[in-house]
Amino acid sequence: MVYLYPAALIQIMHGTTFQYTIVQIGFYGSWLVGSWIMMKYKSPVKIIITSMFLNFLVFILLIPFNPWLIALSVASVGLGDSIHELLWIKIFRTASEKLLGSVYGVDEFVTNLFRLGYDSIAGYFYTVDFTIVPIIGLLTITAVSISYAFSKSWRIKI
């Protein structure tokens, strides 16, 4: 919802090209930092909690109407996703090759299906009523966090 539209968000918030440059540096820099952080985490519980916190932060930072906060928001996306990748990599290492292909394919399909749908909706709502996007995002991340809290299948020893 955020990382596909940083240029539009900066324009909606009457930002500058310099702010857009900072947003891009924040996004791609967060993947580098996230890759380094990924190697330090050993507990799936810490991985999920950190990832969910960063995903909440993405939408909380959209509530104040400030173009500088877009950089922090997209950096949270990059950090959250890169840290969450560690859990998937560890799960895939323990899976057999047959299971690996099917789980990874289904996960990518479902994740991208939801992201594409949300991103399409967000692009429309950014221009109509900006505050709807953070609300939808916070509700979605709350639902995902609740599902993680009640599901024990992701708690593996890594």
Q: Give the pLDDT band (50/70/90) at residue 18.
A: very high
- Domain positions in the chain are 6-150
With a CB cutoff of 8 Å and minimum separation 6, the contacts of 35 are 82
pTM of the model: 0.75
Query: Which of 133, 28, 122 has the alpha carbon at shortest distance from 71?
Result: 28
Residue pair 2/53 in contact (Cβ under 8 Å)? The answer is: no
102 CB neighbour count, 10 Å cutoff: 11
For 85-136, what is each residue's pLDDT tens digit?
777 777 767 666 666 555 556 666 777 777 788 878 888 888 888 888 889 8
Query: Which of 71, 86, 87 has the alpha carbon at shortest distance from 36?
Result: 86
Query: Which of 80, 84, 35 has the alpha carbon at shortest distance from 60?
Result: 80
